[in-house]
Chains A and B, each alone.
Chain A
Amino acid sequence: MRCRRLHSWAVLLASAALLIAGCATAPPVSITRTAPTGIQDDSKVAVMLLFHERCAEHRERTGDNCAPSTVTGRMNDEVATCLRNALQGAPRRVDVIPGHQFHTQFLTRYQADYETLSAHSTLALLARHDLRGELLQARIGFVVLLHIETREHDRRTSFDVGEKGGWGVGRRSKRTTHIVATVWSTEQSVEAGVLTQRGEGLSGWVVPVLLVIPLPPIPYSSGTESKACRAMGNALAEFLYSDAKPLR
């Protein structure tokens, strides 16, 4: 009987944690279009993550150079997957290249040092005539530069009271993810638009207590980044496919 009560209490708290986790919303992506897109069949899109804050940490730890393939390879794969999933089932066939592969193939000779991998310097590179020719030959119609910044703030201790003598104590904080995607059109050699998104959610852990008996802590996460990545992938797919033009 006692065991069953403990079990039901743990399930209750786990459900509450999942409920909190589900509270993270993927807010609308705001779009500023500066050129038409209307991506064509058999075209390719390169999605590259700009995240140079990691570089200094990486150098300090390993002494290696900060090439995207070593620092953000996994994250580049993840964001490419978000866009690829969004394009699944779409009427035109579009291939997605992860950023680290794109960088190794086309940009390493200009940007061997990851410190220089900013949106400004990369856009200047993409505007080069010789590089544009190479990208067109490889059928890369668009390059998406992603800047993702996640910030954890408002960390505080939480105290929740439940039913039947149950309560819980834990730590929770807010996670804010801010994504800026700059889309470069290779064919037009212009910036086609900027998509921005700001997502917010909760993360932390809670120790459920039944009267005075503590139960194992339950961690929870709002999955802010993954929801934001999925929403941004969907918005990018729509942006690239759309026949929209700048209104002004």
Chain B
Amino acid sequence: MAAGPLASYNGALTAVFLRRGCCTTGVVGILLLWLSVAASAADLVAESRRYQQAWSPDKVEFVLAIDPAVTHVKAAGARSADLDLATVAAAIRDSLSTYASAVGLPISFIHSGAPCVDGIVTARIVITAPASELGAMERKPGAGTSVMLPINVRSADDCGYRRDAYTKAVALDLSDGARYETGEVVLAQAIAAFSRDLVDEVLLVWHPDWRLPEPGSRAFAVFSVEPLNPSATMGFLKGLFSGSSRRGLNGLAVTRIETAEPEFRWSSLDDLFSAQRPSDSGQRISDVTYDFRLYTAREMGLGLIPGTLLLERTRLVHPALQLPAPLEACQTYFWTVRARFRLAGFPRATEWMSLHNASGGVVAPWRFRRGESVWNAWNPALTYAAFATPSATGRKDCGR
């Protein structure tokens, strides 16, 4: 039988590929990609040193410079009320105060141009939301509007504190995903998330002196505390062959556990310090506690991601937690932990425990927090450790 037209087409295509040396180009492309990943990995270690400093400013001041023209921009969602951005400044002020107070940081708001006082190290963070850069985009007619509000964060002119600057766009999604919320709720949620990230980024987050994991390393969170029980399961192939209801994203797989009442355990901050920091650093650490979060799972096509926050415990003294009641049977949950402590008297915290040692390279949570549009600016909140509880009716593998 003669070859079909598609076979001839494929043959011709292969010939063209070979003639033009596309195989060579492909190999070179892969090599370049690998080199860029390797180079980027080296950058990550260098960038991470920013969070290793033991700074302790005497004061923390915020300057809000919201362009008044922002207040004239209105965006209507499909089912939401008109969004009046006049509340942007108030929302930022409220959410910054709330979160800073929760993590034990005394902050104040000042007007720009106030002079520095000699001998007093002040973390002065200038937040600018220029109206000229605000972008409103209508995804499809009648479906509502997605607003991107770029906010500049700058601490370059601070009084002896760490100099830093970045711009992050706060996305106000008033279309499909936000159709059940009013514009004000969407704004408040987006600004609250932005403010938490901001305080974490410029004041709170601390990194140990970490190294890039070796190939095949079982490290999960790399520069944060590690999950001990339930253990974390990861690996590209494991994730790929687990089925969408048994895998997370980026090579994360769901660990099956034998009980609905697991005792959560994780490595302590001492472990992180003793393994990777000079021993004298530990002497300046005090008030070590842990924050714990448990989430339900939500399907998002490629795999599962954390859904609703089910339980939150703060100020846990020991790196362990026993839940007050058994969990649901045959359900998947995500959990995460971070250590909070004082370093040289100033409140600090580790990154939230997440799959940082992902398939394809190390995930850099600070790149996501700073809104950098690079491949590993992956949202670490999507890949917390995941586990699934057993059946209560005795069905093997929950009848899947």
Contact = CB atoms under 8 A, between A and B. Distances in A.
Contacts of B245: 25, 27-28
Contacts of B244: 25
A163 B3 CA distance: 10
Contacts of B299: 25, 27-28
Interface string B275-304: 000000000000000000010111100001
A91 B325 contact: no
Interface string B47-65: 0000000000000000000
15 contacts: A25-B299, A28-B245, A28-B332, A30-B296, A86-B393, A86-B395, A164-B6, A165-B5, A234-B395, A242-B260, A242-B329, A244-B328, A245-B326, A247-B294, A247-B327
Contact of B330 (A90, A91, A234): A234
A114 interface: no
Nearest to A247: B311
B216 interface: no
Contacts of A239: 328-329
A89 interface: yes
B324 interface: yes
Contacts of A238: 328-331, 391-393, 398
A166 B393 CA distance: 49
Contacts of B296: 30-31
Nearest to B312: A248
Interface in A151-171: 161, 163-165
A87 B398 CA distance: 12
Interface string A74-100: 000000000000110111000000000
Nearest to A92: B393
A247 B310 contact: yes
Contact of B326 (A25, A27, A165, A244): A244
B142 interface: no
Q: Which of B7, B296, B330 has the most CB of A within 10 A?
A: B330
Nearest to A94: B393
B394 interface: yes
Contacts, number: 86
Contact of B392 (A28, A31, A243, A246): A243
Interface in B1-42: 4-7
Interface residues of A, number: 28
Nearest to B324: A247
Contacts of B399: 86, 234
Given A27-B245, A242-B329, A163 B393 contact: no
Contacts of A205: none
B328 A33 contact: yes
Contact of B260 (A87, A90, A243, A248): A243
Contacts of A243: 260, 326, 392
Contacts of B331: 28, 31, 238
Nearest to A239: B328
A91 B329 CA distance: 15
A163 B6 CA distance: 6
A104 to B, nearest CB: 29
A241 interface: yes
Given A28-B297, A33-B328, A242 B392 contact: yes
Interface string B305-335: 0011011000000000001111111111000
B387 to A, nearest CB: 14
Nearest to B300: A27
Contacts of A126: none
A235 interface: yes
